[in-house]
Amino acid sequence: MLASNLSSVFLVTQAVLPDMAQRGRGRVINVASTAGLTGYAYVSAYVAAKHGVVGLTRSLALEYARRGVTVNAVCPGYTDTPLVADATANIVAKTGRSEQEARAALAKVNPMQRLVTPEEVADAILWLASEGASSINGQAVAVAGGEVFTG
């Protein structure tokens, strides 16, 4: 869990930051999770990894701010992806709920009562990569319909 969700982010960032700093411009946008902003039961390794991504993001943002590089994280809530499909299957297997009931339970944590779409996550990433976000640095942007507040 740590290798795929934290070490991979560290290694990729370590590889790209020197060139960005040398050019005096760059955007690093890590994908964390609302799990990196709060804790969730039964997924402690995942939560630890995503907290690590948020911490790495904030530290690197401070280190590279004067070099023209911004470093931010996008923190999706439950998003309609294969990962949520797997979680739904686990809920069905362990609780006997229907697939629809399991998906509804995941959507219920979002005040909008729905899963986030992959397109919404991509839109947040595109915005952070834009010139319009050039003063956004060191932030963990929750894309979760109000499930988690940052600040």
Q: Reply yes or no on whether 42 is catalytic.
A: no
> Which amino acid type is present at position 14?
Q
φ, ψ (nearest 5 deg) of residue 110: -85, 125
Angle between helices 8-23 and 44-64 (to 10 degrees): 10
Smallest Cα–Cα separation from 73: which of 148, 143, 147, 149?
A: 143
Q: Report how far residue 26's alpha carbon sits from residue 42's, in angstroms, rounded to the nearest whole number.
A: 36
Check 40, 42, 46, 78 and give the catalytic one: 46
Smallest Cα–Cα separation from 69: which of 18, 108, 121?
A: 18
Q: Report how far residue 93's alpha carbon sits from residue 1's, in angstroms, rounded to the nearest whole number.
A: 22
Total residues belonging to the chain = 151
Active site residues: 46
